[in-house]
Structure formats: C-alpha cells, structure tokens
Amino acid sequence: EVQLVESGGGLAQPGGSLRLSCAASGFTFSGHWMHWVRQPPGKGLVWVSQINSDGSSITYADSVKGRFTISRDNAKNTVYLQMNSLRAEDTAVYYCSRGIGSGWFDPWGQGTLVTVSS
C-alpha cells in the first residue's frame, strides 16, 4: 500500500523554526517528485514546494522562498521541509504528496498541523 506519513508539526513562535518529515512506503520513492502543500484553517489548498527525484531540482512558492528548505533522503524514503522565520500566516495543515505523471498529486499524507503563535 502506498503511504505517506507526515510528522514534526506543532506550535512555534513567530520567528521560530520547525522541521517537517514525510516518510514514504509502498512505492519506489527515488523515482518520484515530492511536494508539500498547505491548507490554512478553513481555507483552500496552496502548493508550497517541490523536489525532483534526485534532489537536483527544487522550487518554492514565493511566499516561502528564502525561509523554507525542502530536501530528501532517498535512502530513508523521506522528504523534509525545514521552516525558518515562521510567521502567523504559515499556520496551516501541511501535506506531503507524491507527484505522478506530468504533475498531479497522489496520494496525500494525513497532514501535520503547524501553528505559529506567541
């Protein structure tokens, strides 16, 4: 069974940091792009970042560029999102997802909640 499990969310102060992890199983992790998508409470889906299969191509949304860093460890079947200089507007459920074909996302993890508040 293809599965993605996020962890690392929690409460952070403005200006603080968190590191999210997404552990993958049930598929050849090293063969897929991976994505982070976030969903602020009660709102819609917003793409955050993507990384290609070997980590050589990385892209960020403008809203997180310079503050967030995506990375992956293919030996551990895990993708990470290092979030620094956190702001209140970063509060959201963060999902990781596998990129399929030319770019749709399937499946999605269950999400991890990040709350930025003093």
Partner 1 sequence: DIVMTQSPDSLAVSLGERAAINCKSSQSILHGSINKNYLAWYQQKAGQPPKLLIYWSSTRESGVPDRFSGSGSGTDFTLTISSLQAEDVAVYYCQQYYTTPETFGQGTKVEIK
Interacting residue ranges for partner 1, rule: CB under 8 A: 35, 44-47, 50, 59, 61, 95, 100-111
Paired with 3 in beta bridges are 25
Structure tokens, 52:
């290609």
Contact 4, 79 (CB under 8 A): no
CB of 24 to partner 1, least distance (A): 14
CB of 59 to partner 1, least distance (A): 5
CB of 83 to partner 1, least distance (A): 17
* 55 vs 111, beta carbon nearer partner 1: 111
**Before 41, cis peptide (omega within 30)?**
no
